[in-house]
Chains A and B, each alone.
Chain A
Amino acid sequence: MATTDEHRLLRSTAREVYASDPSSDDLAALGWYGLLTDERAGGAGWFPEEAALIAMEGGNAGSTTTWFQNALVAAFASETPGLSGWTPALLSGEAIGAFGHSTDLSWGEDVVSGSVARVVSDGKPNMVVLTGPPGTHTVAVHLGQHGAGVHGDVVALETERQLYRLTLDQVGAVRVSPGTRVEMAAIVLLCSDSVGAVARALHLVTGYLVEREAFEVPIASFQTIQHRLVDLVTFQKASEALVLRAAQALAWDDQRAERLTLATHAYVEGRAVQAIDECIQLAGGIGFTWEFPLHHALRRVATNAAIFGPGRDSRRRLASSSGSAR
């Protein structure tokens, strides 16, 4: 994918799909679940850039669907020996896949124990891929096994998507080396979702401040407000460019893909939360109310900021790759 026209078309299609509140059958028919899985395994091929654009629109729309987690787990399974049997059900939407992160896991030879505080999933997940802090294993776990608990009683800020917590007691798991391209794609798509949510918040607050008057002039005509809005849109556009550049590097199997992915996570994760927090401040009193929907975007990016691992882990790994850590 290269041209901005193609980008525009894909994004407008994605917006329509999100607005239609699609079922899993709809998403399977659209081929979204297969955007990261090789054709030989039943997918559409390796399309991280297209997936990132669609994910961005999902964050913008406040979508409840977590389709890209299915796409990620399907791709992960198709590329991992012993897991390819999972792929068809994930691609068809019969099974729900989720990606997650935990610092509370311990591994046996082929089992894992511990807990995962939260995974985002559109319904109870059947299969998860879990990453840990730098230097630890990535594991794939089928949650239908004895010893695996999936619980809906999660205390969290999130209001748009469903969250689950997992408990694992000596559950069979497939261990793989971390740092695969699917793990990188997971980070990029998550950041893309957050950038979309920032765009939504910025659009909301800008529209409000242009209409709303104080001292008999639009609030958005005050220079101090204008400069803060400009800083927000500049951050949003820089994030968007970085997300797409990382996704493109992944698409081309560019050697800089991992570095760009880590930079994307390091740049977007904390700043996206701050950006929406700033939107709430700029909105004034109305931004503080439940009725004005800014806070949903804030809650979403706050969830995103850690579910695939914290930005500090990515900064650590980025420092290692640039030689500023040994």
Chain B
Amino acid sequence: MSDPPSEDRLESHRNHVRSVVSTSAPAWEAREGHRAPGTKEEEADLRNWYRVLFDEGLTGASWPVEWGGRPDHHPLLDVVTLEELIRARAPRPLDQVNLASGVLLAFGSEPQKQRFLPRIRSVEDVWCQLFSEPGAGSDLAGIRTRARRREDGSFVLSGQKTWTTDGHWAQMGLALARTSEGPKRHSGLTAFAVPMDAPGIDIRPIDTIAGVPEFNETFLDDVVVPADSVLGDVDRGWSVAMSGLELERFGVGGNVALLELLIQDLVQLARSLRLGDRVAVDQDDVQQVIADLDAETEAATAFVRQHIQKLATGEPEEGDAPMAKLLTTETYGRIAAYGVHLADSGTLSSDPEAQLSRRRLEDAWLWSRALTISGGSSEIMRNILAKRRLHLPSGGIR
């Protein structure tokens, strides 16, 4: 990795992001847990916005230069981009966009790159991930979707996928299916690029606890894909899937900005809330809790910054990433939960700013479980840390 950018470079990048946001971001505010577009107009806004981000070198900057990446790219610049998008409450590029491109760049053949990468940059294609299944979530090696090879080299996919984020408006899916029964569960899997409008694909949106469709059940009923849909080697799909999951390790760096925003909304709410005959913010117990959550935010931020610094200087420490995930996601949930509880324990001013803060905290509270469950649940993170960081023995009564 190249040397970390100078403070001046980071600052000028920050200003660039701010200017792009002010001229081109959708007029509406991104809501936590409402990532997929709700209307055709929102979808057009989103595609347009994501295209601007690619064009301005803010998304896809890490790609090789011949595919549109920036020669001066450094992951710390991406951290700044994400921070600023969050602070501006602008929609953020979806994980799946980055995930598919990472896999294509690492495992795609030249013709595959030619075919898919430009369409990702132009946002003609949104990609979704067809990994998880009803019987295989955190334990991905247990997937049962099958891909049968036919004599002409094409494959026939059959099975059921779930938690397909953005499946209902994606053009392409990155699918993992079993192609053979190997001696190990991790072998015999193959990764495919699958058009989401292929005959035999049935997509059924699942509403989240926020009441909006974020993800889907995806049924594959004898879906035929040509031989050149295979990404990487047949039966070697496990490493393809894992590489996609590893890519976003810097992502947590920008996410601490979400915690800052939640604290701001919590303070705004407490200023506009009456508890009996006093304003909440003047009550000692309320101050104590808010300050404690604020301190917890600073602790998570300090840890994440240290972690990012170690990554940038090439000295990552085993287990720092799961720790960063635990600290940020669990703090996020605690701030939001307290905000909602506080809002409901008094009388909130009808002032639009106060009402908006309340809604943001409610959105975040409902969304917080996505953060502690997806991408490896908090419990899985603790298992990983027990093994890799503390080197604790396995084999106890489970």
A236-248 CB mask vs B (1 if < 8 Å, else 0) is: 0111011011000
Contacts of A225 in B (CB 8 A): 396
- Contact assessment for A234 and B323 in the assembled complex, using a CB-CB cutoff below 8 Å: yes
Given contacts A225-B396, A229-B386, A242-B299, 4 further A-B contacts (CB under 8 A): A4-B315, A230-B382, A312-B288, A322-B294
- Contact assessment for B267 and A318 in the assembled complex, using a CB-CB cutoff below 8 Å: no
Q: Count residues of chain A with CB under 8 A from any CB of chain B.
A: 45
**Cβ contact of A324, chosen from B290, B306, B315, B392, cutoff 8 A:** B290
Q: Is A151 an interface residue (CB 8 A)?
A: no
- Contact assessment for B392 and A210 in the assembled complex, using a CB-CB cutoff below 8 Å: yes
Contacts of B270 in A (CB 8 A): 324
- The CA-CA distance from A220 to B393 in the complex, in Å, is 6
Q: Is A223 an interface residue (CB 8 A)?
A: yes
- Contact assessment for B294 and A218 in the assembled complex, using a CB-CB cutoff below 8 Å: no
- For window 179-231 of A, CB contacts with B under 8 Å fall at 206, 210, 215, 217-223, 225-227, 229-231
Q: Is B114 an interface residue (CB 8 A)?
A: no
- Contact assessment for A241 and B299 in the assembled complex, using a CB-CB cutoff below 8 Å: yes
Contacts of B379 in A (CB 8 A): 227
Q: Is B27 an interface residue (CB 8 A)?
A: no
- For window 252-295 of B, CB contacts with A under 8 Å fall at 263, 266-267, 270-271, 281-282, 284, 286-288, 290-292, 294-295
- The CA-CA distance from A68 to B342 in the complex, in Å, is 41
Q: Is A266 an interface residue (CB 8 A)?
A: yes
- The CA-CA distance from A262 to B288 in the complex, in Å, is 12
**Cβ contact of B295, chosen from A210, A241, A315, cutoff 8 A:** A315
- For window 43-84 of B, CB contacts with A under 8 Å fall at none
Q: What are 5 inter-chain pairs, A to B, with CB distance below 8 A? A: A206-B390, A221-B394, A226-B382, A315-B295, A319-B288
What is the interface of chain B, defined by CB distance below 8 A to chain A? 263, 266-267, 270-271, 281-282, 284, 286-288, 290-292, 294-296, 298-300, 302-303, 305-306, 310, 313, 315, 323, 326-327, 379, 382-383, 385-386, 389-390, 392-398
Q: Is A173 an interface residue (CB 8 A)?
A: no
Smallest Cβ distance from A247 to chain B, in angstroms? 11
Contacts of B300 in A (CB 8 A): 238
* Most A CB within 10 A of own CB, among B327, B382, B393: B393
Smallest Cβ distance from A225 to chain B, in angstroms? 8
Smallest Cβ distance from B395 to chain A, in angstroms? 5
- Name which residue of chain B comes closest to A259, CB basis: B298
- The CA-CA distance from A314 to B292 in the complex, in Å, is 10
A-B complex: 3 closest residue pairs judged by Cβ atoms: A221-B396, A315-B291, A226-B386
- The CA-CA distance from A229 to B385 in the complex, in Å, is 9
Smallest Cβ distance from A214 to chain B, in angstroms? 9
- Contact assessment for B291 and A237 in the assembled complex, using a CB-CB cutoff below 8 Å: no
- Contact assessment for A319 and B290 in the assembled complex, using a CB-CB cutoff below 8 Å: yes
Check A220/B298 contact, CB under 8 A, given A319-B287, A323-B267.
no
- The CA-CA distance from A263 to B259 in the complex, in Å, is 15
Contacts of B267 in A (CB 8 A): 322-324
What is the interface of chain A, defined by CB distance below 8 A to chain B? 3-4, 206, 210, 215, 217-223, 225-227, 229-231, 233-234, 237-239, 241-242, 244-245, 259-260, 262-264, 266-267, 312, 314-316, 318-319, 322-326
Contacts of B281 in A (CB 8 A): 324-326
- Contact assessment for B306 and A210 in the assembled complex, using a CB-CB cutoff below 8 Å: no
- Contact assessment for A230 and B302 in the assembled complex, using a CB-CB cutoff below 8 Å: no
Smallest Cβ distance from A161 to chain B, in angstroms? 26
- Contact assessment for B299 and A238 in the assembled complex, using a CB-CB cutoff below 8 Å: yes
Check A222/B397 contact, CB under 8 A, given A230-B390, A241-B306.
yes
- Contact assessment for B383 and A226 in the assembled complex, using a CB-CB cutoff below 8 Å: yes
Smallest Cβ distance from B76 to chain A, in angstroms? 15
- The CA-CA distance from A242 to B303 in the complex, in Å, is 7
- Contact assessment for A315 and B292 in the assembled complex, using a CB-CB cutoff below 8 Å: yes
- Contact assessment for A234 and B386 in the assembled complex, using a CB-CB cutoff below 8 Å: no
- Contact assessment for B389 and A230 in the assembled complex, using a CB-CB cutoff below 8 Å: yes
- Contact assessment for B390 and A237 in the assembled complex, using a CB-CB cutoff below 8 Å: no
Contacts of B263 in A (CB 8 A): 322
- Contact assessment for A266 and B392 in the assembled complex, using a CB-CB cutoff below 8 Å: no
Contacts of A227 in B (CB 8 A): 379, 382-383, 386
Contacts of B290 in A (CB 8 A): 319, 322, 324
- Contact assessment for B385 and A218 in the assembled complex, using a CB-CB cutoff below 8 Å: no
- The CA-CA distance from A220 to B396 in the complex, in Å, is 8
Check A231/B382 contact, CB under 8 A, given A4-B310, A267-B298, A322-B267.
yes
- Contact assessment for B397 and A215 in the assembled complex, using a CB-CB cutoff below 8 Å: yes
Smallest Cβ distance from B3 to chain A, in angstroms? 13
Smallest Cβ distance from B258 to chain A, in angstroms? 17
Contacts of B292 in A (CB 8 A): 266-267, 315
